[in-house]
Amino acid sequence: MKSTLKLTTALVFGACLSSAAAAQTELTMWYHGAGNEVESNIINQIVSDFNASQSDWVVSLESFPQGAYNDSVVAAALAGNLPDILDVDGPVMPNWAWAGYMQPLPIDESVIENFLPGPKGYWDGELYSIGLWDAAVALVTRQSTLDALGLRTPTLEEPWNLQEFMAALDAAKASGEFDYPLDLGMAWTGEWYPYAFSPFLQSFGGDIVDRSTYQTAEGALNGDAAMAFGEWWQGLFANGYAPGTSQDPADRDGGFIDGKYAFSWNGNWAALGALNAHDDTLFLPAPDFGNGSTIGAASWQFGVSASSEHPEGAAAFIQFALQDQYLADFSNGIGLIPATASSAQMTENYADGGPMAVFFELTEAQALVRPVTPGYVVQAKVFEKALADIANGADVADTLDAAVDEINADIAANNGYGH
């Protein structure tokens, strides 16, 4: 008798639940952050807040590990199973938009007018994706190192030039206190190479691809500026300034903190660790190699899949997630740069005078997105291999020529990628 009652209650309760759900339209969403508990908690919080805030939509979230995320989306797209709301890495977005995986994001421009440029994903003149955060890279060192080596502290207005930068490396090398003067993070293969190192090339005056047409890399990646960059790049490893491609990943993660390196080219995500280890950690702007200082921009962003039947619902969720509070939550939780100045003030690290506020300034002043083209996905791979080969001693001109040929062949094979 008792069990029958329980069963009936359960049935009634279940029926109520399902009828409540029927009134709302379900939206599916994929996210790349599986495995990171803090990140999962924040995104789950946003989803449940959104579901509670209105009665039209109910978002259900599915998380993937970052390494498998892009493959999952491509596979799902080929099988026609994309979710309504997609999470997409900024530089990859044009590829997915061009391939027809995504549709323009129908939110009002006024909502995002205060955003940093990096998190705004435009392709073909339309907004496709928007990020809650950005990421930035700085030359990490310690005030005590600069003092000991007798070096000027570079500023945003007056960064080091090539001579000063190399003089700093020479001074660090001559001091004999470090395994290597500079840690570039060669152990981090993949997107790190184009993200972190193509700004050096741009600062020399070259680029991965000619951005005026996006139809060729000839001249941009193998012109005089690129050759100068390549020779300089090779010299960093040949002359023992930086550990090469066989750098131990553990050294990349802890080498600077342990004092093995005088300078480390690293992102804001590693900044807290360095600050906790050494109070006098400094985050210096990228050196200016002749064509201005630049650093990479654009991180993960949200967009609407092309197959979504409810883009307005997906956009409503994305717009809901753009509240300063959530931007600040992500920043506090996993150290990302909040996308607006007002949300930066709500964070522990990026508020005025905060220990990482400098990254917000760096992003504002120096950020340049990676080439905005569907071909970037391939170009990034070609660029990564070229830089690894040059670091390993390959001939600079031949390697850059080969990279140009491969990029151009790919652009031609894709009929110009729709530019």
Partner 1 sequence: MASKLTTSNRSGWLFAFPGFGLITLFIVVPFFFAFWLSLTNQRLISPNPTEFVGLSNYERLLSVGVIDIDPEQDENGNLLRDDNGDLVYPRVRTFTRNNPDFAGYEGMREWFRWNSGDTAKVVVATDVVFWKSLTNTLMFVLIVAPVQGGLALCLALLINQRLRGINIYRAIYFMPVVVSIVVVSLLWRFIYDGNDGLLNNILSALSFGMFEGRDWLGNPNTALGSIIGMSIWQAVGFHMVIWLAGLQTISPTLYEAASIEGANKWQTFRYVTWPGLRNTAILVLIVITMQAFALFAQIDVMTNGGPLDSTTTLVFQAVERGYGKQDISGGATISVVLFLMVLTISMIQRYLTREK
216 lies in the site for partner 1, by CB under 8 A: no
Which one, 324 or 384, has the nearer CB to partner 1? 384
95 lies in the site for partner 1, by CB under 8 A: yes
129 lies in the site for partner 1, by CB under 8 A: no
Which one, 224 or 312, has the nearer CB to partner 1? 224
* Dihedral sign of CA atoms 367, 373, 377, 378 in order: negative
257 lies in the site for partner 1, by CB under 8 A: no
Which one, 56 or 258, has the nearer CB to partner 1? 258
Helix (H, G, I), strand (E, B) or coil at 79: helix
| CA atoms lying within 13 Å on the CB side of residue 289 | 21
Helix (H, G, I), strand (E, B) or coil at 55: coil
Of 9-68, binders to partner 1 (CB under 8 A) are none
Do the Cβ atoms of 198 and 186 come closer than 8 Å? no
Which one, 71 or 280, has the nearer CB to partner 1? 71
Do the Cβ atoms of 303 and 77 come closer than 8 Å? no
Which one, 86 or 382, has the nearer CB to partner 1? 382
Q: Which residues pair with 29 in a beta bridge?
A: 61, 85
Q: In angstroms, what CA-CA distances link 92 with 102, 139, 254, 374? A: 11, 26, 30, 7
By rule CB under 8 A, what count of residues binds partner 1? 35
81 lies in the site for partner 1, by CB under 8 A: no
Cα 175 from Cα 180, distance rounded (Å)? 11
Using CB under 8 A as the criterion, what x/- string covers residues 233-252 for binding partner 1? Answer: -----------xxx-x--x-
Triad 116, 117, 122: Cα angle to 5°: 135
Which one, 173 or 385, has the nearer CB to partner 1? 385
Element (H, E) at 266: strand 261-267
231 lies in the site for partner 1, by CB under 8 A: no
> Could you tell me the smallest distance in angstroms from the CB atom of residue 76 to partner 1?
12
Which one, 234 or 347, has the nearer CB to partner 1? 234
As a residue count, the chain comes to 419
* Helix, strand, coil shares, percent, the chain, to 5: 50, 15, 35
397 lies in the site for partner 1, by CB under 8 A: yes
> Could you tell me the smallest distance in angstroms from the CB atom of residue 244 to partner 1?
7
373 lies in the site for partner 1, by CB under 8 A: no
Q: In angstroms, what CA-CA distances link 364 with 85, 269, 294? A: 28, 17, 11
Q: Going by C-beta distance under 8 Å and a sequence separation of 6 or more, which residues neighbour residue 371? A: 91, 207, 208, 209, 211, 214, 379
Of 135-194, binders to partner 1 (CB under 8 A) are 189
Among residues 48, 239, 276, 392, the one that binds partner 1 under rule CB under 8 A: 392
Among residues 225, 267, 389, 396, the one that binds partner 1 under rule CB under 8 A: 389
127 lies in the site for partner 1, by CB under 8 A: no
Which one, 60 or 189, has the nearer CB to partner 1? 189
106 lies in the site for partner 1, by CB under 8 A: no
Which structure tokens are listed for 283?
Answer: 């985050």
378 lies in the site for partner 1, by CB under 8 A: yes
Do the Cβ atoms of 387 and 402 come closer than 8 Å? no
| Contact footprint for partner 1 (CB under 8 A) | 71, 74, 77, 95-96, 98-101, 189, 244-246, 248, 251, 377-378, 381-382, 388-389, 392-394, 397-398, 401-402, 405, 409-410, 413-415, 418
